Amino acid sequence: MDSTKQICHVAENEGVMIAVEGGTVCPVDTPQKMKDLNDDVGSKNLGLNMDPVNFIGSLDIAYDTTSLINEFYKLIPDRILGAHAKDFTVVDGLLPHFEESIIGQPKSMLDNEALLLGLQKVNPNAHVLVEHLPDDKIPLAAAGIREIAERIGIKWD
């Protein structure tokens, strides 16, 4: 916690925002823990880069991403600075696991409508960035997120 406070102190002095990402493999692995981090650090320059795929750690969450996304918007709406545009699928096997996928592709499961509608409400100027794809797949991912935005009435510059 102390190191995050130190980083935020420098960010405040420099006029820079710090966007943290959490996920299932780090200490900040739930929306509540993200809120707790923001509350404990207490810096107006600390926020969240919304990346709900990172928080998919169980089949229960995988099949109800709307609740996960809405919990972030309920707990820390004023701390969401941007988002990553990606999706995921459940890979069947002896032990099911999760794999990142391109938004709008068959079997993709993230509720990207809830993600974009919430982001539009809490931070309409936020950046939405494609992540973890090779260059040749980025246009397909960008088209997927644009199609969802159009379908729900979000107009981007």
Whole-model pTM?
0.93
Question: Would 139 be classed as within a structural domain?
Answer: yes
Question: Would 156 be classed as within a structural domain?
Answer: no
Supply the range of the domain harboring residue 94.
Answer: 2-151
What tokens were used for 37?
A: 């981090």
Question: Would 157 be classed as within a structural domain?
Answer: no
Q: Cβ contacts of residue 109 below 8 Å, gap of 6+?
A: 62, 63, 65, 87, 88, 89, 90
Question: Would 80 be classed as within a structural domain?
Answer: yes
Question: Would 14 be classed as within a structural domain?
Answer: yes
What's the pLDDT at 1? 87
What's the pLDDT at 113? 97
The one-letter code for the residue type at 73 is Y
- Which residue matches tokens 């998919």? 56
Structural domains counted in the chain: 1
Per-residue pLDDT of the chain in tens (157 residues, 90 and over written 9): 899 999 999 999 999 999 999 999 999 999 999 999 999 999 999 999 999 999 999 999 999 999 999 999 999 999 999 999 999 999 988 888 999 999 988 899 999 999 999 999 999 999 999 998 999 999 999 999 999 999 999 988 7
Question: Would 71 be classed as within a structural domain?
Answer: yes
Question: Would 91 be classed as within a structural domain?
Answer: yes
Element (H, E) at 37: helix 31-41
CATH number at residue 114: 3.20.20.150
CA 58 centroid distance within chain: 17
